Amino acid sequence: MITVKSQSELEVMALSGDVAASALGVAKEIIKEGVTTDYIDKKIKEHIIQRGGKPSFLGYRGFPKSSCISVNDEVIHGIPGDRVIVEGDIVSVDVGVLYKGFHSDNAATFAVGQVSREKKKLLEVTALALQEGISMAVEGMRIGDIGNAIQTFVESNGCSVVREFVGHGIGYELHEDPEVPNYGRPGRGQRLSKGMTIAIEPMINLGARHVDVIENDWTVVTRDGSPSAHFEMTVAITESKAVILTDWGKYI
Ligand code: MG
């Protein structure tokens, strides 16, 4: 079901979103060679709780941690553990927060020290693809316009769009309708209306688009082993520009 939020609900969602965005700031500060993904997760969890929120992912369908941390060829749903970050890694951190009854969801991919030119390009393309998608998130546009903008930008830059996992409506629940694919045709799909809140989250591979889920039943990896990046924001639809509810730009 697609839900529409009132102005006062959107104000609470922005508070929730600020907790999620600032958690990415915490991640940025501590991600460096030698730390484990579990340590990053622990600091994120502490931060969310200290800000009065709850980690949306903890226990979600049995997920055991407070964030998803996906390294290099891991696309999404990496489970924090004893993996040690090394120079040259790219580390995607995805954080969801429940605060005063509202969920927010955001992600960013961080470069550790010097990364290859290809990885640097992938991060730039994915971050810009998110902006392309957000630019279409306006009342009267359609879900297909968002996906098409992302796909066109990504493919014209020689990267590929993961199809099996998509963005989503969000608010009262972590995952609400509609689905928000990162590919599609302009003018198709659900029409966007004022008060809808959606998470736009391009998952972009440097190589081919195909992915697999590994034996932990969570973590998604690229089939060809190429690196993958993930940037995400929760936004609210208005009659003009989308309102960014997880404004991590000021934290990372
Ligand atoms: Mg999401």
8 A C-beta contact, residue 133 and residue 146: yes
187 lies in a domain? Answer: yes
What residues have their beta carbon closer than 5 A to ion ligand 1? 105, 199, 201
Residue 119 lies in a domain: yes
- The reply to whether 2 falls in a domain is no
For residue 132, report the phi and psi dihedrals to the nearest 5 degrees: -60, -45
In a domain, 97, yes or no: yes
CA of 105 to the centre of ligand 1 (A): 5
Domain range for 169 is 7-250
pLDDT, residue 183, reads 98
For residues 6 and 4, what is the distance between their CA atoms, to the nearest angstrom? 7
The CATH number of the domain holding residue 109 is 3.90.230.10
DSSP 167-223: EEE-SSSSSEEEEE-SS--TT-SPBP-TT-EEEE--EEESS-S-EEE-TTSS-EEET
CA of 76 to the centre of ligand 1 (A): 10
pTM for the model stands at 0.98
Q: How far is the CA of 204 from the centre of ligand 1 (A)?
A: 14
Residue pLDDT tens, the chain, 252 long: 999 999 999 999 999 999 999 999 999 999 999 999 999 999 999 999 999 999 999 999 999 999 999 999 999 999 999 999 999 999 999 999 999 999 999 999 999 999 999 999 999 999 999 999 999 999 999 999 999 999 999 999 999 999 999 999 999 999 999 999 999 999 999 999 999 999 999 999 999 999 999 999 999 999 999 999 999 999 999 999 999 999 999 999
Structural domain contains residue 140: yes
Give the per-residue pLDDT at 113: 98
Cis peptide before 178 (omega within 30 of 0): yes
The average confidence (pLDDT) of the chain is: 98
How many other CB atoms are there within 10 angstroms of residue 242's CB atom?
Answer: 25
Q: Using one digit for the tens of pLDDT, what is the confidence trace for 131-159?
A: 999 999 999 999 999 999 999 999 999 99
What is the per-residue burial (b if ≥16 Cβ within 10 Å, else e) of 205-222? bbbebebeeeeeebbbbb
Number of structural domains in the chain:
1
Tokens describing residue 168: 């989503």
User: For residue range 151-193, what is the model confidence (pLDDT) as tens digits?
Assistant: 999 999 999 999 999 999 999 999 999 999 999 999 999 999 9
Residue 108 inside a domain? The answer is yes
Question: How many A from CA of 232 to the centre of ligand 1?
Answer: 7
| Inside any domain, residue 1 | no
Q: How far, in Å, is the centroid of ligand 1 from the Cα of 120? A: 23
C-beta separation of 79 from 92 below 8 A: no
User: Which helix (H) or strand (E) element contains residue 247?
Assistant: none
